[in-house]
Amino acid sequence: MSVLDVSGVSIGFGGVQALGNVELVVDEWEVVGLIGPNGAGKTTLFNCITGFYKQDAGVIRFKGRDISRLAPHKRAALGIGRTFQQVGLVRSMTVLENLLLAQHLEVNYADIAGMIGSPETFPVEVDLRRRAMNILDFMGLSDLAHSSLDGLPYGTLKTIEVAAVLATDPELLLLDEPAAGMGPEEAHAFGNRVREMRKELGITVVMIDHHVPLVVAVSDYMYCLDFGQVLTHGEPDFVRSHPSVLEAYMGEDVKNGSKPKRRSRKRAPARRR
pLDDT in tens, 33-72: 999 998 999 999 999 999 999 999 999 999 999 999 999 9
Quick one: pLDDT at residue 108? Answer: 56
Q: Which domains does the chain have, with CATH numbers?
A: 2-89+149-250 (3.40.50.300), 92-148 (no CATH)
pLDDT in tens, 164-223: 999 989 999 999 999 888 888 888 899 999 999 999 999 999 999 988 889 999 999 999
In terms of residues, how long is the chain? 273
Percent residues over pLDDT 90 in the chain: 60
Question: Mean per-residue pLDDT for 129-143?
Answer: 93
Quick one: pLDDT at residue 109? Answer: 45
What is the rounded distance in angstroms from the CA atom of residue 26 to the CA atom of residue 233?
12
Quick one: pLDDT at residue 265? Answer: 35
pLDDT in tens, 146-159: 999 988 998 899 99
Q: Is the pLDDT of residue 82 over 90?
A: yes
Range name among 21-35, 91-105, 204-218 with the lowest pLDDT average: 91-105
Residue 259 three-state SS: coil
Q: Is the pLDDT of residue 73 over 60?
A: yes
Higher-scoring residue by pLDDT: 263, 86 = 86
Range name among 76-80, 209-213, 225-229, 265-269 with the lowest pLDDT average: 265-269
User: Mean pLDDT across the chain, nearest whole number?
Assistant: 85
What is the rounded distance in angstroms from the CA atom of residue 57 to the CA atom of residue 68?
10
What amino acid occupies position 40?
Answer: A
Higher-scoring residue by pLDDT: 9, 90 = 9
Of 71, 67, 84, 79, nearest to 7 by C-alpha is 67
